[in-house]
Amino acid sequence: MGNESLVLNKKSWDEVAPRFFGRNPLPEYGPLAPREEDLNLLGNVAGMKVLDIGCGSGHSLQYMDSRGATELWGVDLSKTQIETAKELLMGSKAPVHLFESPMEENPGLPLAYFDIVYSIYALGWTTDLHQTITNIHDYLKPGGIFVFSWEHPLHSRASLVGEELHFNKSYHEEGAYEHEAWHAPAIMQQYKVSTYINTLIECGFEIMKVVEDVSLTKEDRERHANRWYSYEKAKMMPTTLIIKSRKKG
């Protein structure tokens, strides 16, 4: 199933990439979620070597460049996204290294090299969470930081009907699923919050912070207004899960 999903997802992302140009990059962690200036999970990135897992159009790497990171590395499954990111990052002050590759594989990234690895709304696309987290652990220096965000596992399990939340699927059910808000055939993975946390621990990470807050300012409401991530639903449950962890050592 893993390889089939990768082929399907690569085709889907190559087709829809323009729709996601610059969508929710750092300093944003997700729709109606707190931003980096609120959370300060990355700290001072000046002088840091950073790696973006699922780098998309490159806007989060552009943000890292603006904050003084010394090396910009990115991995993305989509050829279209990598080409877009290369174009966007042509004027970067820091050197850029981009790889068209699934996150489950190492396309030639150096080991024990990076100060920070992060992934913004991409980790749920992995077909093998344990392998992906193992790879990230291998890429980081001892003491290095890994920060990721993804749609909160509860969010797609419940629908807002009037003023009530109606659960349409069991929270305990994990594995591959087709996301109803995705307009092209694609397979994502559903995991519980505990699965993300326990996988990080099993792979040698220390959990530093777990964030399930929402940000419901007028600006957030206007920027993220759509049928899937609504202000009304976000008042009742988080849209986004954000976890900061550290490689032991």
pLDDT (average), residues 187-209: 95
* Structure tokens, 172: 């305990």
231, pLDDT greater than 90? no
249, pLDDT greater than 90? no
pLDDT (average), residues 74-87: 93
What's the confidence (pLDDT) of residue 10?
Answer: 52
d(C-alpha 238, C-alpha 63), whole Å: 25
Nearest to 51 by CA among 70, 35, 23: 70
Structural domain span for residue 84: 2-20+40-219
197, pLDDT greater than 90? yes
Q: 248 — alpha (psi -120 to 50), left (phi > 0) or beta? A: beta
Q: 244 — alpha (psi -120 to 50), left (phi > 0) or beta? A: beta
What's the confidence (pLDDT) of residue 37?
Answer: 96
* Strand-pair category, 140-151 with 240-247: antiparallel
Q: Percentage of the chain surpassing pLDDT 90?
A: 69
In a domain, 240, yes or no: no
In a domain, 238, yes or no: no
pLDDT band at residue 19, thresholds of 50, 70 and 90? low
pLDDT band at residue 1, thresholds of 50, 70 and 90? very low
| Number of domains making up the chain | 1
Q: Provide the strand spans (E) within the chain.
A: 49-53, 71-76, 96-100, 114-120, 140-151, 158-161, 164-167, 175-177, 188-190, 205-211, 240-247
What's the confidence (pLDDT) of residue 225?
Answer: 61
Residue 82 is part of a domain; what is its CATH number? 3.40.50.150
In a domain, 29, yes or no: no
In a domain, 230, yes or no: no
pLDDT tens for each residue of 28-60: 999 999 999 999 999 999 999 999 999 999 999
Mean pLDDT of the chain: 89
In a domain, 59, yes or no: yes
In a domain, 80, yes or no: yes
Q: Are 37 and 243 in contact (CB under 8 A)?
A: no
pLDDT (average), residues 153-161: 91
Total-model pTM: 0.90
In a domain, 190, yes or no: yes
pLDDT (average), residues 173-194: 78
pLDDT (average), residues 125-149: 97
pLDDT tens for each residue of 119-136: 999 999 899 999 999 999
pLDDT (average), residues 187-210: 95
pLDDT (average), residues 3-10: 62
In a domain, 30, yes or no: no
